[in-house]
Structure 1
Amino acid sequence: MTEYDDYGIPQPAGAPRRPGRIARMCSVANVLAALWWAALYWGERGVFDAHMHHCRWDRWERWEGGATPHRLALVADPQLVDPHTYPGRPWPLNPLAYQYTDRYLRRTFARLQTALYPDTVFFLGDLFDGGREWATRTTRSPDAQFRRYGNDFWLREYRRFCDIFFAHWGDAGLHPRPGQPGRRIISSLPGNHDLGFARGVQVGVRNRFNAYFGDSNRIDVIANHTFVSIDSLSLSAKGQDAPEQTEDLWRPTADFLAHASSHKQRLVQRQLRIHRGLRPYPAFAHDAFALDHLAPSELPHAQDRLAEFPTILLSHIPLFRAPGTPCGPLREHWPPTPPPPGQPPLQRDDRNAISVSAGYQYQNVLTKEITVDIANKIGDIRYAFSGDDHDYCDVVHHGYASGGGGIREITVKSTSWAMGVRHPGVVLVSLWNPVDTHGNPLRGNGNATMQTHLCLFPDQIGTFIKYALLFGLTLALILLRAALITAGLVTPLAAAPARAASPILPYTTHDVHKSKQEPSLTHPTDPIHSSHSTCSSDRPGLSARPPQTRAKYSLPLVQHPGYHESRDDRGEKKARSPMRVYGGSSRAREKEKEKQKQKEPRGVGLFVYHVQWPLGKVVVLAGMWYAWLVWLDRA
């Protein structure tokens, strides 16, 4: 029985069959490319979506029915990578570090908006890594290697920060959720990498930061909670030697603290009047003041003593604590040291704690004197959030003035994977504090108005390691396949359909005499040659072929295809067939096959060929898919 290939060409018995379409689709290169597509989608999108799914508010919020909590996210230490981060690195590494850290920050912050949609976002400082080093018109970097970077470079870094965070703040919209007054993003709190620390702060650098991000010392009333942000970096200059020489540094924050308590009261009054549908401030009486009394006079305010909202302190530098104070089980670098069997948790655990130390332009915790001053002047502090350490830490300070059983301070993880933590993250805060017209809590428990959750981001370094392992597997499989093919143990899938052993078109011998001596090479049952008038027996040199099967082609074949006289035949006319062999004689075809076999690579060449082709195909397909995923993030 005659067999036909996918193109309708008859195949002689014993000819190698072309692999099926499914077999060709399941080649090693295609399977590896599909595996890379799945891995890249997981690493660039799926793993981010999965982490955001675990951070969903309804998975950890525990409020009473009917609550409409205010949802807030605390972001710490993005520290955009710049020349200050890895000085002296060769050319390709620093640009790659910039690209991948920026892409990671952009992805996580954008998904934070689209998946969680917080009502308010606070940044806790260290927005840049080398912001303190970039000179202004009146200052220059204290480090000689960075003095060539000026204010223009800082402005480019500012635009870079805006492109990562501010540009994606509205990815899911800007409309407030039901029961909320609106959405806000506040990034005015500086870090030591933005300004420097204590005496290292330069007034020009601080003024530039405040001009673009807002006042460092501020009070915000959000969801019946009072958030107090302080520039603890400049204030720390007061605790060093000869503070009178640096008064221009610490004086603004000291004056802010001196009036923080009364300022809180006025803002609480304003908020309660808004709740009652009144004007934020009452009308003022018209009084006349002498010129020498005008400057120190203050605007009148209501004298009613109202209940305060719970106060939350925001500071880049953590508050003072005794050395070795444990940070709890969620600290990534070092988990708590297990206590002896039957013993309570250790009261001092140096490896699990924030180190109480200092160095050039940094100090891990504030001094005890400054911490006491902050707690006393602000008053009623129940919670505190800080950054700087890059890792998570949860402690309760019992030795400072507070609004309850102590100040619970959470040091927020860095949101960047380049800051020494494998799992960056943010802290999510849910606020719910319904009050009456006088500010008294309606739920009867003013200490249970806030819930927190550590939201972890993907391990980017772990993702790169998985990519490297998959590349090793890809290369190993391709090398193994190439070795087996070179050794003749495996036959590669055919890249094109196998040729038929017999020619498609009919052929004759070169002359009548040779035709009588050599048998015809065409198969008597060849469907192509079965019923054409051009192949009838009335022409010399052609044998009659009775129609045995129905012709596969309805159109007649062309007579004399490609016929021309050879040079030897031009001088002497010989009796010859009117048709020339199409495709050459059997001996010519055998020679052509031998030439093709000689051209085929063998040995090392064959091995290299079967490595380059599938590896290149995988790289091209995976690269196109990766570029598409990156483009979608930028779009």
Structure 2
Amino acid sequence: MSYSYLPTTNAYRPARRQSTPPSLVKSVHDALPPWATQGVYSAVRTAKSQLNLYKSKDELKRLGLRTIQTLFTVTNGLIVLWICTLWWGERSVFRDSVDACTWNAWEKWPTNARPHHVAFIADPQLVDPHTYPDRPWPLSTLTVKFTDQYMRRSFSSMQHTLDPDSVLFLGDLFDGGREWSTPTSTSPEERWRKYKDDFWKKEFHRFVKVFLNPWSSQETQSTNSRGRRLIASLPGNHDQGFGSGVQLPVRDRFQNFFGKGNRVDIIGNHTFVSVDSVSLSSMDQPDPQTGSTGAGNGDGERPNQKIWQEPEDFLNAMKLHRGRAEMDELRFLGKPREGRLFKHEVTVPSEPTIYREDDPEIIGFPTILLSHVPLYRKPATPCGPLRERYPPSAEGLEEDEPNALKLSGGYQYQNVLTKTISNDIVSKIGPNLVHVYSGDDHDYCEITHREFSGSPKEITVKSTSWAMGVRKPGFVLTSLWNPIDPTTGASIDSQSPGSTLQNHLCLLPDQLSIFIYYGLILAFTLTVLLLRAVILALRKPEPTTPDPILPLTETPAVRTRARAVSITSSSNYQNNSSIKPGGLASRATNGNPRYTPPVSNDANGYPGFDYIEEADTSKWKASSSDRRRRGNDTLFGRVSGEFTGSVKSVARVALVWYFILVWRW
């Protein structure tokens, strides 16, 4: 605030100043750096100088019309169409698909709830030589490129828009992972034995590039006190084989890179139990060496025991695994750790003393089972209205064969687990099993298992790859909210079983439809440019050929006389001494073997000539540029020229823009 001095009163009084806010132009001017301001001034001066050249309003109107005609052309319009189309197909469609799945659009919790957000990804099955063995190059390479690009864009959009706290993969990370050789094993099929362990490691780096890099580059604040998680250790049949086809070196390689397939994790106050069901399925399959499914081999070892022993031991000790995981979570949340009091005295025990802690008890968090292969269900059990390939035949059907998972199997796969294996898993997991998530089928399926205690619901998650037989891939979002007492682990809210989680299917773009749309735009572009070329060619007047000034033909006599004169007046003579009196230059000097030297003089003493009449076989031939010009003067030539030039103009910009979008994913 400023003050003005009033001499009449010898006092200071505040003076009010009428201040006006700066204009928008001045604000922009003050915000720009000096070099940018000078550039703007220079552009304005140039524009003014150009406009000063046009004094009259008519000239300015003509200038504006010419500018509009230059900018708003059919070719430029198609270029803009392609720029918008490619941006939609390579960017907007992915963002719009994920934007439709935002958490607040479908989850329904109390206003004070802080749920834990989980994303389930199933069956990426990175395309490799095993996927399309008969597809030739470069189609095979383009398939790999576009499938990886599709999944990376989808996963990146999910991370940036939805930002889940945990990402869980449900197996089949690779398509031919079970086939690639290890240092101690080879593929059962001869044609895959050339792919060694190095090839599998390259595929692993592809997986890191497509999924792990976008996940690790996302900076976020997770609602989970343990931070964000990405778990991809659950194996699928394409990762290590199925049942008796599992090779232990292949399984060990997968676990060395991704972690144990059998594990217990506490996520969002829920107990997640991952079971290597593809290995456990070898328990009721025949041994490939003995063909037996019953008694052992004489040494007490049962068929396929080396394959199923690990997941079976894990299930048998489920109480211990669950108890430890849940107690560790409570300790992390603040429950004081119970210690042991030791006496500080020296004793000499007569026998060794072993101190053993009591097995931790299961607290009872809601339990969720993760299995790559779905659990057994009755034949023709319908999968619900969200199944893509075979929608329900009608509502409320108890059995719907087309809409159900087929209970079948084949080489290294089985659509569902057997009833024995399913009962073994569910019975040993323990109480409070509220939900099951599986993969393998590539399409969505949702059922309720009435045959198990608690009637857990199972969701078979869609494949996230557009090359797995579904037009619209997808993933499942799950919102977990289970507030507990950090001391006892008991749920604070009295809720019914299964009400602590909510699910939502998120669909991804139809990549095949995008390619079809590109094809339609291409056909539209070519049609418009062809019509444009025909119209311009018809409007262009036919060229007129003026009469030649000089004759285009000559008579044989004139042609012969001209040749004779050309000999006498040739400038190729080296010197005059080579010309003999009364004769012409020598044949060697002239270098023209087609004529004989003169042999006599005429009556006036001038050299005479012996004319030799030659048949002229030469023809008037147009040059290549002349022929091209004449071809362009025809209607077909004008249409072809206009069409080719306009196609090149549009394609040049569209292809550059497309490669930029593809290069930047």
The offset of 1:602, in angstroms, is 2.8
SS in 2 for 1:131: coil
State how far apart, in whole Å, the 2-side matches of 1:359 and 1:596 are: 65
The offset of 1:278, in angstroms, is 3.0
Q: Which residue pairs with 1:301 in the alignment?
A: 358
State how far apart, in whole Å, the 2-side matches of 1:414 and 1:289 are: 64
Q: Which residue pairs with 1:416 in the alignment?
A: 465
Of residues 57, 73, 90, the one that matches 1:44 is: 90
Are 2:239 and 1:187 equivalent residues in the alignment?
A: no
Q: Which residue pairs with 2:652 in the alignment?
A: 620
Are 2:437 and 1:385 equivalent residues in the alignment?
A: yes
Q: Is the 8 A contact 2:319 2:362 kept in 1?
A: no
State how far apart, in whole Å, the 2-side matches of 1:316 and 1:306 are: 25
The offset of 1:274, in angstroms, is 2.1
State how far apart, in whole Å, the 1-side matches of 2:67 and 2:228 are: 56
Question: How big is each residue's C-alpha offset from its partner over 1:149-191, in whole Å with a ceiling of 9 and x where there is no partner?
Answer: 0101001101111111111113321x43346430010000010
Flag the 1:362–1:254 CA change in 2: closer, same or farther, 3 A: same
Flag the 1:356–1:478 CA change in 2: closer, same or farther, 3 A: same
Counterparts of 1:53-72 in structure 2, within 5 Å, are: 53-72=99-118
The offset of 1:106, in angstroms, is 0.7
Question: How big is each residue's C-alpha offset from its partner over 1:463-496, in whole Å with a ceiling of 9 and x where there is no partner?
Answer: 11100000010011111111222233x89xxxxx
The offset of 1:22, in angstroms, is 1.1
The offset of 1:256, in angstroms, is 0.3
Are 2:295 and 1:250 equivalent residues in the alignment?
A: no
SS in 1 for 2:175: coil
SS in 2 for 1:421: coil
Q: Is the 8 A contact 1:314 1:386 kept in 2?
A: yes
State how far apart, in whole Å, the 1-side matches of 2:54 and 2:226 are: 75
Are 2:137 and 1:91 equivalent residues in the alignment?
A: yes
Are 2:389 and 1:333 equivalent residues in the alignment?
A: yes
State how far apart, in whole Å, the 2-side matches of 1:282 and 1:471 are: 74
Q: Which residue pairs with 1:543 in the alignment?
A: none
Q: Is the 8 A contact 1:51 1:458 kept in 2?
A: yes
Are 2:480 and 1:431 equivalent residues in the alignment?
A: yes
Question: How big is each residue's C-alpha offset from its partner over 1:273-297, in whole Å with a ceiling of 9 and x where there is no partner?
Answer: 2222534x7458799999x999xx8
State how far apart, in whole Å, the 2-side matches of 1:9 and 1:265 are: 88
State how far apart, in whole Å, the 1-side matches of 2:332 and 2:78 are: 63
1:44 alignment partner AA: E
Q: Which residue pairs with 1:576 in the alignment?
A: none
SS in 1 for 2:476: strand
The runs of 4+ residues in structure 1 deviating greater than 3 Å are 5-10, 281-290, 594-601
State how far apart, in whole Å, the 1-side matches of 2:461 and 2:450 are: 20
Q: Is the 8 A contact 1:387 1:412 kept in 2?
A: yes
Q: Is the 8 A contact 1:423 1:456 kept in 2?
A: yes
Of residues 516, 531, 537, the one that matches 1:480 is: 531
2:262 alignment partner AA: N
Flag the 1:429–1:299 CA change in 2: closer, same or farther, 3 A: farther
Q: Which residue pairs with 1:603 in the alignment?
A: 635
The offset of 1:23, in angstroms, is 1.3
Using CA pairs below 8 Å that are at least 6 residues apart, which structure has the higher relative contact order? 1
Counterparts of 1:336-415 in structure 2, within 5 Å, are: 336-338=392-394, 345-380=396-431, 381-401=433-453, 404=454, 406-415=455-464
Question: How big is each residue's C-alpha offset from its partner over 1:581-603, in whole Å with a ceiling of 9 and x where there is no partner?
Answer: xxxxxxxxxxxxx9999695432
SS in 1 for 2:664: helix
Are 2:252 and 1:202 equivalent residues in the alignment?
A: no
Counterparts of 1:541-620 in structure 2, within 5 Å, are: 601-620=633-652
* Bigger CA radius of gyration: 2
Counterparts of 1:110-189 in structure 2, within 5 Å, are: 110-173=156-219, 175-178=220-223, 180-189=225-234
User: What TM-score comes out, normalization by structure 2 length?
Assistant: 0.72
State how far apart, in whole Å, the 1-side matches of 2:99 and 2:512 are: 21
SS in 2 for 1:61: coil
Aligned Cα root-mean-square deviation (Å): 2.9
1:438 alignment partner AA: T
State how far apart, in whole Å, the 1-side matches of 2:348 and 2:272 are: 34
State how far apart, in whole Å, the 2-side matches of 1:289 and 1:414 are: 64
Q: Which residue pairs with 1:317 in the alignment?
A: 373
Return 5+ residue gaps in structure 1 as ranges.
11-16, 340-344, 492-593
Q: Percent identity?
A: 46
Q: Is the 8 A contact 1:306 1:439 kept in 2?
A: no
1:104 alignment partner AA: Y
Q: Is the 8 A contact 1:306 1:438 kept in 2?
A: no
State how far apart, in whole Å, the 2-side matches of 1:299 and 1:424 are: 51
The offset of 1:238, in angstroms, is 0.3
